[in-house]
């Protein structure tokens, strides 16, 4: 049975809102999003001229270009020689490349017993369906451990450069947090609320699936790091720090790398001394297989996710 809706009931329906929005009577963002008006800086001609004068004067002070003939000569020489030099290098390299064995030829020196064993016996020896994972995490495990340490030391280096010290500075950043992030942006928060779990799931899938198909710790970790970055952009640092602060960050990073290092030492020691390492390879193709590759992928993934997030956080506010 149909009946007429009252005015009040009608005002609550989606159709009404849609119509309103369509006709431009209602702004969906009004009262929902905190927005900071942009300050327009207007510059008069005079100020602009003043600015250019100051800049030129500063350059003059630094390089003394007009009176210093050496600098002038150097700049001229630089502009002439740089392209010449670059073209020379390009020519030499192209020449050298043209003499290299043809790409992908079967008689190439690179198609030798090394690649053959990786491809033909890789599955049997490492248990990994993905030959690349088997190669980087089992055959050449030491290189990959070094590479993970490169990521670690890169974050430490960024910390040296950007980490803010002292309570005063930190307080100032917290007060001024608005400058770095739009707060309570409904669109961003809604989308992030839907996307972040999916991104995380996908990251974990890629990470755990490294020995079975394309993926692995580096890729999966990067995806998870992107998820964390999206979360912090949408919800702000305070909410993120409830579950991911500096302590958690340090704990995850140190634990992951330490376990990784311990596994590696065990692997090297047993391998070099010809001992049995008692690590079951499992049935190739199942999730729990390929020996050390799965745990290492997880550890590498954690480290990479931490690194990605730390870079973002440090560049944004000098703090994790």
Partner 1 sequence: MLDFVQNFPCFSIVSCMFAGIISSALKGKGAKILNLGVLLAVTVMSALTLGYVMDLGESYIYVMGTFSAPWGNELRVGVLEAAMALFFCVIMLLSLMGGQQKLQEEVEEGKQKLYYIMVDLLMSSLLALIYTNDMFTAYVFVEINTISACGLIMIRQWGRTIEAATRYMIMSLLGSGLLLMGLVFLYGLTGHLLMSNIHQGVVHIVEQGEYHIPLMVAIALMCTGLAIKSALFPFHSWLPDAYGYSTVASSAILSSLVSKGYIFLLIKIIYRVIGFDVIQQSKIINVLFVFGLAGMIMGSLSAIKESNIRRMIAFSSVAQIGYIYMGIGLGTEAGMTASVFHVLSHAVTKSMLFIAASGLLQASGDSTDFFDLTGAGFRNKTAGAAFTVGSLSMVGFPMFCGFTSKLLFARAAVDGSWKMLPALIVLAVSTLLNAIYFMKTVIRIYTPLREPAREKRFRKIGIGEQPMNFVALICFILLNVVLGLGAEPLVALLNNGLKMFA
Size of the site for partner 1 (CB under 8 A): 59
Task: Determine, following the binding rule CB under 8 A, whether residue 264 of this chain makes contact with partner 1.
Answer: yes
Task: Determine, following the binding rule CB under 8 A, whether residue 125 of this chain makes contact with partner 1.
Answer: yes
Q: How far apart are CA 246 and CA 304, in angstroms?
A: 16
Scan for tokens 């996307």, then name that residue: 195
Q: How far is the CB of 271 from partner 1 (least distance, A)?
A: 4
Q: How far is the CB of 229 from partner 1 (least distance, A)?
A: 21
Task: Determine, following the binding rule CB under 8 A, whether residue 39 of this chain makes contact with partner 1.
Answer: no
Q: Which residue of 16, 152, 202, 311 would you call a contact of partner 1, by CB under 8 A?
A: 152
Task: Determine, following the binding rule CB under 8 A, whether residue 147 of this chain makes contact with partner 1.
Answer: yes
Q: How far is the CB of 111 from partner 1 (least distance, A)?
A: 7
Q: How far apart are CA 88 and CA 94, in angstroms?
A: 10
Give the angle subtended at the CA of 94 by the CAs of 92 and 100, to the nearest 5°.
110
Instruction: Tell me the torsion sign for CA atoms 272, 278, 282, 287.
Output: negative
Q: Token digits for 73? A: 């000569």
Q: How far is the CB of 125 from partner 1 (least distance, A)?
A: 7
Instruction: Measure Cα distances from 316 to 6, 7, 179, 228, 237 in Å.
Output: 52, 49, 10, 14, 10
Task: Determine, following the binding rule CB under 8 A, whether residue 77 of this chain makes contact with partner 1.
Answer: no
Q: How far apart are CA 149 and CA 303, in angstroms?
A: 10
Which residue stretch of 38-46, 197-205, 206-214, 272-280 sits at the interface with partner 1 (rule: CB under 8 A)? 272-280
Instruction: State whether residue 33 is helix, strand or coil.
Output: coil
Residues near partner 1 (CB under 8 A): 92-93, 95-97, 99-101, 108-115, 117-118, 125, 138-143, 145-147, 149-150, 152-154, 156-157, 159-161, 163, 165, 250-251, 253-254, 257-258, 261, 264-265, 267-275, 277
């Amino acid at each position: 049975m149909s009946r007429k809706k009252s005015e009040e009931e009608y005002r609550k329906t989606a159709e009404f809102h849609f119509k309103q929005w369509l006709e431009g009577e209602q702004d969906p963002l009004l009262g929902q999003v905190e927005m900071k008006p942009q300050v327009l800086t207007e510059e008069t001609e005079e100020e602009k001229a003043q600015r250019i004068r100051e800049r030129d004067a500063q350059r003059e002070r630094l390089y003394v270009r007009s009176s210093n003939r050496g600098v002038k000569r150097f700049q001229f020489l630089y502009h002439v020689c740089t392209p010449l030099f670059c073209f020379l290098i390009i020519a030499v390299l192209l020449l050298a490349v043209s003499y290299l064995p043809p790409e992908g030829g079967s008689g190439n020196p690179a198609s030798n017993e090394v690649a053959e064993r990786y491809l033909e016996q890789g599955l049997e020896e490492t248990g990994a369906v993905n030959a690349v994972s088997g190669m980087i995490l089992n055959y050449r495990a030491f290189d990959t451990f070094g590479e993970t340490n490169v990521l670690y030391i890169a974050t430490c280096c960024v910390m040296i450069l950007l980490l803010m010290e002292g309570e005063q500075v930190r307080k100032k950043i917290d007060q001024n947090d608005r400058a770095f992030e739009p707060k309570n942006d409904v669109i961003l928060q809604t989308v992030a609320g839907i996307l972040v779990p999916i991104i995380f799931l996908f990251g974990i899938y890629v990470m755990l699936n490294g020995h079975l198909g394309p993926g692995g710790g580096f890729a999966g970790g990067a995806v998870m790091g992107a998820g964390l970055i999206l979360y912090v952009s949408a919800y702000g640092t305070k909410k993120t720090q409830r579950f991911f602060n500096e302590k958690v960050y340090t704990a995850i990073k140190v634990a992951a790398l330490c376990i990784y290092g311990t596994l590696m030492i065990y692997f090297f020691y047993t391998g070099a001394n010809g001992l049995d390492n008692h690590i079951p390879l499992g049935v190739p193709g199942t999730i729990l297989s390929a020996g050390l590759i799965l745990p290492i992928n997880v550890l590498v993934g954690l480290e990479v996710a931490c690194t990605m997030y730390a870079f973002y956080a440090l560049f944004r506010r000098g703090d994790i």
